[in-house]
Amino acid sequence: MIKRTAFNQIHKRLGGRMIEFVGWEMPVQYSGVIQEHLAVRQKAGIFDVSHMGEILIRGKDALASVQKITSNDASKLMTGRIQYSALTLPQGTFVDDILVYRIADDEFLLCVNAANTAKDYEWIRKNIEGDVEALNVSDSYSQIAIQGPLALEILSRCVDVNLAEIGYYKFMMGKVAGTDSIISRTGYTGEDGFEVYSSQDAAPHIWETIFEEGSPKGLLPAGLAARDTLRLEAKMALYGNDIDETTTVLEADLLFILKLDKGDFIGRDALQKQMKEGIRRKLVGFEMMEKGIARHGYRAYSNGAEIGTVTSGSYAPYLKKNIGLIYLPAAMAHIGAEFEIDIRGKMTGAKVVETPFYKRK
């Protein structure tokens, strides 16, 4: 049975084109992908991200458990801070990529990908040890993301806290539109912005309050399609496309979330071995040198030999270029390397470029 978020009727009233996405009815776009994308880059956009999962880990051994199941070092997190990390398999590949919120000394909230919530919860439950419990609290939360250069100005008028005090990858508790919420500052677009976690009952009122405040300033509702093009411009990985249970943290070019010196964790031995021996392939960004968009699944070639498959590819509305991500052999995974992609039977030139493709000033 398809799930619906607390904002379902709002999306339809705003003209959202609804699709089924990993078991949820979600808006793919409203006014148009390019318009929504540019609104986030230049002003602000509001996204429904309630389909994301939330898993609570709490108890005396909560930290030890989070350390065991994730690749980053959660001991570095003070209360009120957030960390990008990975749930890793013994072979050093991804169960999922996640955000870890330290709620208290003995309590962590993990924000996980919608398609993986049930799988992640079972994996976590199976692998935590000691005086600790894991709870799937996804049904307790709705989540809104407000992203863009005007996000701070717009949301500030709807909260009872000083948003400027929330640094990047930090959070605090506060009232949004009069309702107790978690307010965090992370994002999946390459822009500054905030997330509001609230109860499902209060969520529609919070959306309406933010939307009423932001609309005169250029805030637009944005759907899944713009979220995808924005994250690609910022070279943020998408689980199921760019990372999965076959790709390691090192191959995915995510060394910064790998802390081998923190002590043992699931996948550490495999990743340590791969670090020592060197990776055979690496996720890189590319730009098309000729007309054509290289989509997910398109094959790449060099001197007639197949060398990889595009993991993500799209027209980049802000950069006005055709870009993408691909795993290339390590010897070719350097800036300037040229190759060809088979776009509907036509071999089309591409080259490796510096990433992120877009970085805000």
pLDDT single digits (tens) 46-62: 999 999 999 999 999 99
**Whether this model's pTM surpasses 0.95:** yes
Mean pLDDT calculated for residue range 289-297:
98
pLDDT of 223 above 90: yes
**Alpha-carbon gap, residue 137 to 102, rounded angstroms:** 15
Q: What is the mean pLDDT of the chain?
A: 98
The per-residue pLDDT for range 137-177, each reduced to its tens digit, is 999 999 999 999 999 999 999 999 999 999 999 999 999 99
Please give the average per-residue pLDDT across 274-296, as a whole number.
Answer: 98
How do residues 199-220 score in pLDDT, each as one tens digit? 999 999 999 999 999 999 999 9
Percent with pLDDT over 70 in the chain: 100
Residue 97 CA to residue 249 CA, distance in Å, equals 10
Domains of the chain: 3-50+141-233 (3.30.1360.120), 53-139 (3.30.70.1400), 280-353 (2.40.30.110)
Stretch 320-345: mean pLDDT, rounded? 98
pLDDT of residue 181: 98
Q: What is the pLDDT of residue 361?
A: 85
Residue appearing with tokens 């007309």: 291
> Could you read off the pLDDT of 80-98 as tens digits, one per residue?
999 999 999 999 999 999 9
- Whether 313 and 325 have beta carbons less than 8 Å apart is answered as yes
Q: Interior CA angle at 320 toward 316 and 323, to 5°? A: 45
Strand order in the sheet with 82-88: 82-88, 94-104, 107-112, 53-58, 133-136
- For residues 8-26, give the mean pLDDT: 98
CA distance 203 to 196: 9
Residue 308's nearest CA partner among 293, 297, 294 is 297
196 vs 175: CA distance, rounded Å: 10
Does 271 have pLDDT greater than 90?
yes
Task: Please list, residue by residue across 33-61, b when 16 or more beta carbons sit within 10 angstroms of its beta carbon and e when fewer do.
Answer: beebbbbbbebbbbbbbbbbbbbbbbbeb
How far from chain centre, in Å, is Cα 267? 22
Share of the chain above pLDDT 90, in %: 99
Q: Which two tokens stand for residue 329?
A: 């052999």
Residue 81 and residue 257 in contact, taking contact as beta carbons nearer than 8 Å: no
pLDDT of residue 301 exceeding 90, the answer is yes
List the beta bridge partners of residue 67: none
